Amino acid sequence: MPSWRRWVWLLILLGLTPGAEASSRFELDAPFNVGLDRSYVFFSPNRIRRVGDPEPSHLVFEAQVAPNLFLPQLHIGHATPTLGEYILSAVVTPNIRLRMLAQESSPVIPPSFMPKLTLQAAHLWKPWLDDQGKPRRMALSFINVSVGHYSNGQAGCFYANQSEAEGGCASVEGELPLNETSGDFSTNFIRLEAQFRLIENIDMARRSAWSFGVGAFVERNSSLAFGGITPEMREVYGDGHVGFGLLVERLWFEHRFRVEGNVNGPFGETPGQRWTFNVEAAALPRWGAGFGAFVRYVHGQDYLNILFLEPVSLVQFGLIFELGPGLRARSGPSGDPLGPT
């Protein structure tokens, strides 16, 4: 039997055999959710530029709709009474980005379709306890491996100087600028991401803590399978992207306040592109049930599919939706908190 099949059977047996019930289980109702995509609806006072438009346009709204659909999540061991020491997840995310400009008929320009499958392996260290035996600090690390597709649903020529004549777009050698109004943008990708979080000053009575995080990713474009990147697009868009990020989050009576920043850029592209920096601050009150408000600043290259060569400097603000793991003090029969979740 191939080695990978042995691992699959091992994971199944860990979750299903009666003898392993005490050390492993499948979470079906409230999966541990960290390091995944969020949903946004927002506005920006800055204008959006596209080659082919007579002038830059104001933004009516922009949205990212990214529901994370969990398959049964496997918890192995016990880091807390409600979380495993090791957590294995498989998540399907049908991510879509929409942008509506204040033009005639307020058109929604070609959106980004970014469906993907993410496999996540997380390790939670058992909490460090204080003199009274209460948790004061804990740490977690996780690795995400994602396989996905990224396209804009258009079928026009990639370059603005090409046309869909009888000989096809390739009959004319492409030259910049790109066809930013109807050009075809399509690639498949594989992404590897690693993050580490340190949770400090845990106060179970006030359901409060500080969280500090650092992460990095590398993403590689692929021509394999249907919808893969073409040679002409790879030359300009690049072989992939890399990025780094930092995060500080305050949990206070289960209200969440977060500031994070990251920088990312392509590699293997011609001509070279500058890197993109963004910083975001968000507040998610407990009574918002996952909804909150955020403000973000983006400086660098546009991130909406075929507009990737356009320079941007955007201030954005609006609503965010994210179901995070939080640090909840679930009470047992005695009323005492069970531990962080």
pLDDT tens profile 107-132: 889 999 999 999 999 999 989 988 88
* Residue 130 resides in a domain: yes
* Residue 6 resides in a domain: no
CB within 8 Å of 211: residues ≥ 6 apart: 197, 198, 199, 200, 247, 248, 249, 250, 251
Least confident stretch, 105-114, 236-245, 313-322: 105-114
- What 3-state DSSP class applies to 339? coil
Q: What is the pLDDT of residue 165?
A: 72
* Residue 11 resides in a domain: no
- In this prediction, residue 169 has a pLDDT band, given cuts at 50, 70 and 90, of confident
Q: Give the residue-averaged pLDDT of 19-41.
A: 82
* Residue 175 resides in a domain: yes
Domain count, the chain: 1
Over 70: is that where the pLDDT of 156 sits?
yes
* Residue 19 resides in a domain: no
Q: Give the residue-averaged pLDDT of 181-188.
A: 95
Q: What is the pLDDT of residue 12?
A: 42
CB count, 10 Å around CB of 271? 8
- In this prediction, residue 166 has a pLDDT band, given cuts at 50, 70 and 90, of low
Over 60: is that where the pLDDT of 335 sits?
no
**How long is the chain?**
341
* Residue 158 resides in a domain: yes
Q: What is the pLDDT of residue 34?
A: 92
* Residue 315 resides in a domain: yes
- In this prediction, residue 197 has a pLDDT band, given cuts at 50, 70 and 90, of very high
What H or E segment, with its residue span, contains residue 276? strand 276-284
- What 3-state DSSP class applies to 5? helix
Which domain CATH number covers 217? 2.40.230.10
Residue listed under structure tokens 């049908």: 94
Over 80: is that where the pLDDT of 83 sits?
yes
Average pLDDT, the chain: 87
CB within 8 Å of 246: residues ≥ 6 apart: 213, 214, 260, 261, 262
